[in-house]
């Protein structure tokens, strides 16, 4: 799956072109 990370005015946003889904990233977990 291809995920694009965009930097927005409010923070980071994750966008999935295939599903046309965009979500703000509020938490980043390091596995």
Which pLDDT score, from 0 to 100, does residue 21 have?
66
DSSP 1-31: ---EEEEETTEEEEEETTTTEEEEE------
Mean pLDDT of 6-29: 71
Count of domains forming the chain:
1
Residue 27: the pLDDT is 62
| pLDDT value, residue 10 | 76
Average pLDDT, integer, range 17-31: 63
The range of the structural domain enclosing residue 4 comes to 1-31
Report, as an integer, the average pLDDT of 9-19. Answer: 76
| Band of residue 24 on the pLDDT scale cut at 50, 70, 90 | low
Distance CA 12, CA 19 (A): 18
pLDDT of residue 5: 81
């Amino acid at each position: 799956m291809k995920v694009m990370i965009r930097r927005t005015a409010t923070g980071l946003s994750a966008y999935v072109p295939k599903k046309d889904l965009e979500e703000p990233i509020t938490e980043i977990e390091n596995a």
